Amino acid sequence: MIRHIAITFGSEDILRPIIDKYPDRELQLYKLSSTEAKELMLLDYSGMEPIFESPVTYDALAHAGNDNWTGFVNFATLNLNEDQQKVFDARVNKLMSDILPTGMNSIYSLNYHNDINQRILLTTWESYSNYEIWHKDSLDLTPKGYQSSPSSYHHEASYIPA
């Protein structure tokens, strides 16, 4: 299992030279799936120490499935208190122990580096349509109360290869 995942953001002019400079690294360039924004995300899934000057680094807590970084990727970020973490972790562990949903290649339970309260659910998919079906029909991993509670933070972002 990959122990660390690092990302950074920037324009194609900034990120392409990094890809060229580190051909031995496992890097994937993404763009937001919902906009025509010029800013891109570069994801390093090598599991090694980050090579980026300003990385956002995540530590892997658990993983299931077979990674395919060339498709649709979704990040769901939550800032949870201790009780909420227990419920969330139980739901994620249940999902990981079952057969993964149709079209889901892999799932990672992550935390923001050195901040166990900020959890990230990273999923890789064959396509957006597979993700959309699962997202609408799945057991809600993030109860509505978490999304509206002043004591928790919830954000989702979806990316496709650039």
Phi/psi of residue 135, each to 5°? -60, -40
CATH of the domain at 101: 3.30.70.100
Domain count, the chain: 1
Residue 110, domain extent: 4-161
pLDDT, one tens digit per residue, over 105-142 is 999 999 988 787 889 999 999 999 999 998 887 655 65
Q: Report the C-alpha gap between 47 and 44 in whole angstroms.
A: 7
pLDDT value at residue 82: 85
pLDDT value at residue 151: 61
pLDDT, one tens digit per residue, over 9-43 is 999 999 999 999 999 999 999 999 887 777 899 99
How many contiguous H segments (helices) and E segments (strands) does the chain have? 4, 8
pLDDT, one tens digit per residue, over 90-101 is 989 999 999 999
